A and B are shown apart, each in its own frame.
Chain A
Amino acid sequence: MTGDEKHEWAAASTIDVLWVLYDKVLNVTPAIVDDPDRDRFLLSKGHGPMAYYAVLAEKGFIDESTLDDWTSWDSPLGQHPDRVLVKGVEISSGSLGHGLPIAVGTAIGQRVAGSRGRTFVLVGDGELDEGSNHEAIAVASRLRVANLTAIVIDNQSAMYGWPGGIARRFAVEGWQTAEIDGRDHEAVFTALTAPHDRPYAVVAKIEKSR
Chain B
Amino acid sequence: MTTMRQAFVRAVNDGIATDPRIAVVTAVISSNEFPQENERVVDVGIREQTMVGVASGLALAGLRPVVHSYAPFLVERPYEQIKLDIGHQDVGAVFVSIGASYDDPAWGRTHQSPGDVALFDTLPGWTVHVPGHPDEVTPLLQQALKDDDRVYVRLSLHENTHAHPVGEGFTTLRHGKRGVVLAVGPMLDRVLKAVESENADVTVLYAATVRPFDSDGLRKAVQDTDHADVMVVEPYLEGTSSHLVSETLQQIPHRVRSIGVKRHAELRNYGTAEDHDAAHDLDVVGLGSAVRSFFRG
Contacts and interface: CB of A to CB of B under 8 A. Distances in A.
A187 interface: no
Q: Main SS of the interface on chain A?
A: helix
Contact of B61 (A109, A131, A135): A109
A108 interface: yes
A111 B63 CA distance: 12
A71 interface: no
Interface string A80-100: 000110000011100101101
A132 interface: yes
User: Which of A90, A111, A143 has the most B CB atoms < 10 Å from its CB?
Assistant: A143
A112 interface: yes
A26 interface: no
B57 A135 contact: no
Contacts of A115: 61
B183 interface: no
Contacts of B65: 105
Interface residues of A, number: 34
Nearest to A106: B57
Contact of B57 (A92, A103, A142): A103
A112 B50 contact: no
Contacts of B62: 36, 109, 113
7 contacts: A92-B84, A98-B53, A101-B57, A102-B60, A104-B54, A132-B49, A136-B54
Contacts of B263: none
Interface string A146-189: 00000000000000000000000000000000000000000000
A14 interface: no
B266 interface: no
A159 B278 CA distance: 50
Interface stretch (B85-93, B120-128, B208-216, B238-246): B85-93
Nearest to A132: B49
Contacts of A103: 57
A13 interface: no
A56 interface: no
Interface of B: 23, 25, 39-40, 42, 44-45, 47, 49-50, 52-63, 65, 80-81, 84-85, 88-90
B47 A135 contact: yes
B60 A105 contact: yes
Interface in A14-60: 36, 40
A132 B50 contact: yes
A138 interface: yes
A77 interface: no
Nearest to B65: A105
Interface of A: 36, 40, 83-84, 90-92, 95, 97-98, 100-113, 115, 119, 131-132, 135-136, 138-139, 142-143
A137 to B, nearest CB: 9
A49 to B, nearest CB: 15
A80 B93 CA distance: 24
Given A101-B49, A135-B47, A138-B47, A92 B61 contact: no
Contact of B44 (A97, A106, A131, A135): A135
Nearest to A117: B61
Nearest to B87: A92
B78 to A, nearest CB: 9
Given A105-B58, A113-B62, A92 B50 contact: no
A132 B39 contact: no
A112 B47 CA distance: 22
Given A102-B89, A132-B81, 6 more contacts: A106-B60, A108-B39, A108-B42, A109-B58, A112-B58, A115-B61
Given A84-B90, A95-B84, A101-B85, A109 B60 contact: yes
Nearest to B57: A105
Contact of A109 (B44, B57, B85, B88): B57
A104 B59 CA distance: 12
Nearest to A111: B39
Contact of B45 (A40, A101, A102, A142): A142
